[in-house]
Structure 1
C-alpha cells in the first residue's frame, strides 16, 4: 500500500509540476499561447514622414528570435501584405522605414509586426493568430509632406531671457498645420560633449508664433542663472500627421543687461536737530544673478551722493545718517533710491547696475 501511495503521489506532483512549468512558459510575452499578449511585440510605434513611415520597437532581450516581419495594409486594416524583414541582433531597439507611399488625404497605412524564431515559427500567425482579435496590433498612420521651415528670429533684448519669434508663418502655412514644437539644449563649452536637444514645449495653437525662454519667478522656474549663458534652439512646425519641418539649430545667449530695479522701496525718517536718520527697505530682486545693491541720495540740483553698498542680495535694509539741505531757505531731507547690480560686469569693467528704484520721500 505504501508503494502504491507514493507512486500516486509522485504522479500527481509530476503532473502538477508540468502544469506549473507550462504556466511559467506562457508568461513569456512573445509566446503565441500567452493569454494576455498572444505573442504581440509590445511598444511598437509609427512615425509619419514625407511619402514614408518609420516603425520602431524595442528589443525584448530574449534569445531565439531570428528576424522580424513587417506587414502593411492600405486604407483598411485587412488583406495585410508582407513588406520586409529585419534581422534580429544584439540591439536595444529596431527600426524600419517604409518608403514610396502616398501623402496626406485618405492615404492611411496600417502595419503589423511579427517575429520568426530559430525554428521558423512565426508569431503571431499573420493568418490565424491564437488568442487575438481580428484587429490585433494595428498601427495606422498617414504619410505627409513636412511643413515649411519657420523663419525664427532669436531676440536677445531682455535680461535673463531669449525670445524666439516666427511671426507671420501662419499666413502661408499648409492647411493641415497643427502647431509647433520647441527643442532646447545647453550649448556645450569647448572640449565638452554636446547634449542632445530636448522637447520643452508643444504649442498646439498655430496662431501662437513665439516662445519665451526665461525665468518664471512665481513658479520658481529658473532657466537662466546669469548673463552670457548660450543655448541651442530648434523650432519645428508639425502637421496633423505629426510630421515635423526640417528646421535648423539656432544659438541664443542671455544678454549682458542690468537687472530690474528693487521694488516696494520705502523709507522711514527719524528727524533730529541738525541731522536725521533714514531707514530704507526694499523687496529683494528676483533675478538669480543679483549679488548686491547700492544706495544713493538725490540732491535738488540733480546730482547724487553715493551712500554705500550691500554685498548680500538678501540684505534689504539700510540705515543712513545724513544732514539736512537748505533749498530757498527751507530745511529739507534728501531723497533716496537704491539700485541692484549683478555678477556680470559691463565691458568697461563697471557693475551692471539697474535703473533707480522709486524715490523716498
Structure 2
C-alpha cells in the first residue's frame, strides 16, 4: 500500500513537472483581411475573393498561388520573419493541429472581411472579424484540451495579436451605394460605428487572453489603382483618403483608451499612412518607378480587379508600389513592415523560427510589357 502510494506521488510529481516545464513559445494570432490572408479564402469554395489565379505568389516559394493577395510576402509575414516569430498557419490549412498551433499560431485573415459583419457581402464567403473571433474560440478549446487551462492561459497571454482590418469597411461597404450603411450613416457616425464595434471585439479578445495586441492603420486607400481608375481625373480620391486618416486617428485613440481600461493590456496602433503617401508623392526617391497603377494588369482593360492568366506583368516587380488594383507588392509590403517595426519598437522574440520564404529575387516577368 505504501509502495503504491509512493508510486502515485512520484508519478504526480513528474507529471506536474512536465506540465510546469511546458515550453510556452511566443506565437502570433492574426485577424485581418486580404492584406494578411495567407490561404483561408482559397479554401472557401464559394468565395469571390480569392488569390488562386496566376500570377499571385510568383515570387514566393515555388511561384504558385498560395492564397496571398500579392506577388510575394504579406506585411505580417515580413514582420514575423524580422522579429523571430514563426509564420502562423492559415486556419483552414489542412495541416492545422494542436502541435502546429502551439508552434506557429494561427492566421484567421480573410480576403473581403471587415470589422462589420455586413462588409464584403458581395464576395459571398469571407470571415468577418466576429467570425474570426469565433474561430479563435475553437482554437482555444483545442489547446486547453491539449495542455490544460493553466498552461493555455500562459500560452495565449504571451502570444502576439495582430488586427489589420478596416479598408473593406469603406471600399466594399460604406463607399458603395448598394450597401445600407452608405445611406444610414455619414462619415463621422460611420467611423463611430466602426470604433464601437472594434472596441467590443478587442475587449472580447482581451477576455480570451490577448495582452500584446497591435492594430494596424489604413494607408492612403484613395490612391490604390482601383480608386484612381474609377475617378475621372485618374488622381487619388481625397474623400477616401480623408476617411482613412479619420479612421486612423479614431483607432489610435481607441488603443490608448483600451490600454488604460483593460488590465495588463498593451494595445498599440501601427500607422504606415505617411510612408506610403510619401512614396506616392515621390516614387523615385524610394526606388520605385510606378506608384499609381498595378504591376499585374489586363492590358488597357481597367479595372481588372484581380490578376488573371492572361494578365501582363511589369518588367520589374520591385519597382511597382502596387501588385494589383487593390494590394501592395512584396517590395511595398517590406517597406510598410519596416516602418511598423520601427514605430512600434518590436523586439526579437524567439531564438529560432520556422524557415521563411526568402524575399523575391526579381524573377523575369512572363511578358515583355
Q: Under a length normalisation based on structure 2, what TM-score does the superposition of the two structures give?
A: 0.25
Rg larger for: 1
Higher strand share: 1
Higher helix share: 2
1 or 2 for the larger relative contact order (CA 8 Å, sep ≥6)?
A: 2
Q: Under a length normalisation based on structure 1, what TM-score does the superposition of the two structures give?
A: 0.26
